[in-house]
Amino acid sequence: MEEQATTSKVVKRYENEEKTRDRHTIRQVEVFDVPKNIDDLGKEAGSVIKVKRSGTRGNHWGESISYYLCSLPPSSWNLAQGIRGHWLIKNRLHWVKDVILEEDISPQKSGFSPINLSMLKTWVLTMLRIHGFLGIKEAINLLSHDLKYILSFWT
């Protein structure tokens, strides 16, 4: 896909700039036709997408490039929205579970323990958000020793 994105003509291009708190992000989405010589796994694809993200978080500069195969045709505006939606889910759930709740370094590695703990963590995150907590670290600090308050969520 990288080769397709570097050697083919861009069919559609979208750019989005976002500023939130200490973060400034620029997303450039480029959409390409699917190459004729793609393997069998990509035969159903409608487009190849390149997403370049660059910007600052605090004083730190970062840049990443991702490639996607998509079933939608290159002319669809929904491509950029869908990719952004995917990252919103990734940031609001998976990143929180990986970084804040340290799910990736959990000692439970076998059997059903990792699955059960992951479901429990997702359930707790959902309950915290339902009760208005946007910052999970803040919620953990506030609630960590207040069992009565925690139990009031479920009564």
Q: Is residue 46 within 8 Å of 64, Cβ to Cβ?
A: no
83 pLDDT exceeds 80? no
87 pLDDT exceeds 60? no
Instruction: Report pLDDT digits (tens) over 94-149.
Output: 667 766 666 766 777 778 877 788 788 888 888 887 888 777 788 888 888 888 88
Map out the domains of the chain as residue ranges.
1-74
Whole-number CA gyration radius for the chain: 20
152 pLDDT exceeds 60? yes
Instruction: Report pLDDT digits (tens) over 25-81.
Output: 898 888 888 777 776 666 677 788 888 999 998 899 999 998 888 777 766 556 656
